[in-house]
Every structure is written in structure tokens, then in C-alpha cells.
Structure 1
Amino acid sequence: MRFDPVAALIAYHDAINRLDFEAIETMFAEDALYVSPGFGGETRGRAAILKAFRDYFARFPDQHAKDDLVEQLGDRSVRSVWRLEATDRTTGEVIRRNGEEVTDFDDAGRIVRVTVFDRG
């Protein structure tokens, strides 16, 4: 069966929206790299990435993101254009962000790199 990076990304984003940390964990390679200003820069390794997700969602538990575009860039690479809204649990402030994400997968279909570009 041929790997579909678009379907893999859609499943990954769905797991994030459901806060299904077990599913998210299985989607990352052990030595994955997550690059995002929202996570403080670069986070390396599945365990560290999952910790960053848990910390982020402890602060923004109601976040919901939507992909406006998902496009395949290569055999194992996909780009999404997204927007999100969330409430900061500590301040009550509602944030709205949008940006792009490039996600790369290994031969086993696990995420090896996520690069997030915030637009605002």
C-alpha cells in the first residue's frame, strides 16, 4: 500500500484536535524534530515533543485548529495552511493564530520533522 502523506497529516491534526496524546505519540519517530515559535523554537525527540504538547494544551485546553489547505509536496512531505482559536487558561484571553506547517515523514510513515511558520 502506498503511503499517503496527506491522509497521515489529516489523521495527525485530528488527533491533536481530540487531544489524543496516545495517538499523537505513535505518529512521531523517536528522534523527530518539531520547530515552532509556539513551542519555543526547536524541540527534539518524541518524548520532548509530547511534553511540549501536554504543556501547551494545559494552557490552551479548548484550542481547535482547522486546515484551510493541505497539499502534498513530495512522497513523504505535506504542507498545510491552518488557523486556530484558543483560550489562555491563565489569562482568559482568546488567541487566534494562522500559519503554515510543513510535515515530513519517514519510510514507516512516522513524523520526522514538523516546521511551523506563524503568520499571526
Structure 2
Amino acid sequence: MSLDPSALTARYHAAINALDFQSIGDAFAENARYASNGVGALCGRAAIVSAFRDYFLVYPDQVAEDSVIETLSPSSARAKWHLTATDAKTGETVERSGVELLHFDGEGRIVAIEVFDDD
């Protein structure tokens, strides 16, 4: 089976933008790893999906866009993104941008993500 890491990344990001937690969970392998300056290191699909749910309770109106999604290897992709969100409690608007490296297994599930915010 030939994977298209860029298409898999786009589908994963579409699930996030739709707040489709079932599809977000389905995108990850059971023992996936997620690392970000914002959330730290997470291990396992359940922990990752739980962190997404918690995040979207605080920032329910997040809008994220990719300026670039590129395939790096047969099993990895890189996405350059920008997001805007409003804190539901404080009303403060947050803008972030950065790069995300995604690594997939042979079934097209995410096994690792590394998120790097722009400085």
C-alpha cells in the first residue's frame, strides 16, 4: 500500500478544524507520541485525544490554516500552519504559527508528531 503523507496530513487537519474527535482519534496509532512546546509530550492515542478535547474547551473557535503541506518521505510530512483562537473564559485572542512534522505507520496512522512554534 502506497501512502500519501501530505493527503493524510490534510485529512487529519480537516478533522481538527471540524472538531471531529472520532476522526482525530482514528488518525493516530494506539501508541502514538505527540510533542509540542505548548502541551509537552503525550504518549498514546487516548492521552492525545483527551488533550485535544481539553484544548478545544478553552479555544472552541480555533481556525487553523496550512500554508504548506509537503511530503518528506514515504512515511512523513511537514506542515507549516497558522492559527487564531479566542480563549472562551478571558476573550483573549491568540495567534500562533509554526511547523509540524508528522510520521505515519504502514497503515497511514500517525505514530509521532513534533510541533514547533515560530519564535
TM-score (norm 1): 0.97
- After superposition, where does 1:41-60 map in structure 2 within 5 Å? 41-60=40-59
User: Any idea what SS the aligned residue of 1:79 has?
Assistant: strand
Aligned to 2:66: 67
The percentage of counterpart residues that share the same residue type is 51
Aligned to 1:108: 107
Q: Distance in 2 between matches of 1:46 and 1:109?
A: 14
Aligned to 1:78: 77
**Gaps (5+ residues) in structure 2?**
none
User: Any idea what SS the aligned residue of 1:90 has?
Assistant: coil
Total equivalences in the alignment: 119
1:7-55 deviation per Cα after TM superposition (whole angstroms, max 9, x unaligned): 000000000000000011111000000001222x100000000000000
User: Any idea what SS the aligned residue of 2:19 has?
Assistant: coil
Q: Distance in 2 between matches of 1:119 and 1:87?
A: 19
For residue 90 of structure 1, report the CA deviation from its aligned partner. Answer: 1.6
Letter in 2 for 1:26: D
Q: Which runs of 4+ in 1 moved over 2 A?
A: none
TM-score (norm 2): 0.97
Letter in 1 for 2:2: R
